[in-house]
Each structure stands twice: as C-alpha cells, then as structure tokens.
A = this chain, B = another copy of it.
Amino acid sequence: MPADIWSLRTFCIVTGGGKGLGYSIVVNLASRFASGSVIAIAGRTEANLLRTQEYVESHYPEISVQPLVVDLCLRDTYDDIFPTIFSLQSINAEDFQQVMLIHNAGTLGDITHTAIQQDDTRAVRRNLDLNIGSTMLLTAAFFKFFPDRTRFKTYVVNISSLCAIQPVKSFSMYCTGKAARDMFFRVMAEEEPDVRVLSYAPGPLLTSMTTHIIDHVGDKDTKQMFKDMKDNEQLLDCDTSMMKFVCLLEDDKFESGAHVDYYDVEKICDQ
C-alpha cells in the first residue's frame, strides 16, 4: 500500500523547478504523486521550465505541470500567482486533498567577497529579497489561496543547507539567508500546528552551483573543501538526496519546523 501522501490528489508548487535540485524534486514527486496531481514550477528561465514539463508529462502523463516564468524578487504582489496557475490549468482548489509549497529557489549571492566587503546596496537588497523576502511573501500568498487547513493536508518545505547552521567563509550572504529561512519556518511551525513544515538540507550536491563555487569562491579554504568533495566523489547526485527527502515526507515523522540534513536520515524508502 502506498503511504497516504502518495494516494492524495496533490497540488504542489516548486520554486526554482527548472534545473538542478529543483528539477529532481519535481521529477521525484511526479513519479509518486496520485493521478490528477498538478505541479507548478516557478523559475526565471522558460527553457528550463519547459524541459522539466516535457520530461514529466511524457513519463508521468497522469501528472500535469504548469510552468510559471517569474522573477520572484521583482514582484509588488504575490497574490496573483496561485489564481493564475489555477486559471491556466482550469482547476479548482476543491480538486485537491493535499497541497505542498516547496521553497527551492535561492541564490549564493556574491561569493567572491567576504562579509565585510558586501557593500553593494542593490545586490544586498536583491539577495535578501530573493532568499528571504520572496519566500515569506509566496508563503503568505499560498495560505491566502488555501486558507482552510482542515480540507487540505498541507506541507511547506524549505530547501535549507548545512550553511543555515554552520558558517562558511565567503558564503556570508548564503549562510545568512539560509539561517533566516530556517528560523522563519521554525516560527511558522510553532504558529501552525496543522501544517507540516520541513527544512531539508540536501547535502553537498553535484550541481552547476557547486561548479560555480569551485570556479569563483574567494576563500581558498572553502574552495579546497568543495574541490576535495568533488575529487573524492563525495558530492551527491540530486536524485540520491531526493530518495531520502521523499522518505522523510512519506514517513511523516519529522518534527514540524525542524532542520533535517540528508546525513541525519538513515532510512531510504523503497522505490
């Protein structure tokens, strides 16, 4: 018998769903979600979103994907996002028994400079907007659209990082944003006992972000750390990390609001 989570018709939105971990989140959920589920994927690059959509809809035709080209930190309002998706898909909130908001989008920010060199007012504000502000505002829009938590089993996932709890040289903006998000969702979990809130740190991943780090990071210790992980094949494939993530959701035993790291999850659920 499938776990409850995979038997309920689900609406899910994944930010940054066009590539890397976001792509892997979408594909791994699509392969498990109940027929008739809809996954909205928000991102800045249309081509990436369309590629994700095409892959999912060809492999899992019972799942619909709605791409949404959007720069989340440039919006005056977020209230139109869910009505737009539901209108494009010709669906209603009543069609679903389960709703899921997955905050995956995020940016490293300037990793060439140290904390005390972060002097670009526009860049700092844009980074805080994207990594923290848009996460808050999209959450508010989501709960405005699905206000009745007695009707929907509701999950909110924050894709976190070890950087949320451990400082890393050259990662001042990234660590700050991840720590901020973890705390925001801890408060939310306290306030909303009927929402399942998870901050999942996916482990060190083999993505374009990691290549970018090795190529551009200012601090030589941080560079060496990532280079060593790559050379020693310690970087994880996104799908490997996702196996533990889907297991966390399926088991549904995590403490709401908790920061759970890939390496904290012992079990890998059956595929």
Contact = CB atoms under 8 A, between A and B. Distances in A.
Interface string A98-141: 00000000000000001111110100110011001100110111
A214 to B, nearest CB: 19
Interface stretch (A18-26, A179-187, A245-253): A179-187
Given A76-B121, A176-B180, 10 more contacts: A115-B192, A119-B141, A119-B144, A124-B137, A167-B257, A169-B191, A172-B184, A176-B181, A179-B183, A180-B180
A143 interface: yes
Interface residues of A, number: 53
Copies of this chain present in the complex amount to 2
B176 A184 contact: yes
A117, A129, A168, A176 interface centre (most CB from chain B within 10 Å): A176
Contact of A187 (B76, B172, B181, B184): B172
A190 interface: yes
Contacts of A139: 115-116, 118
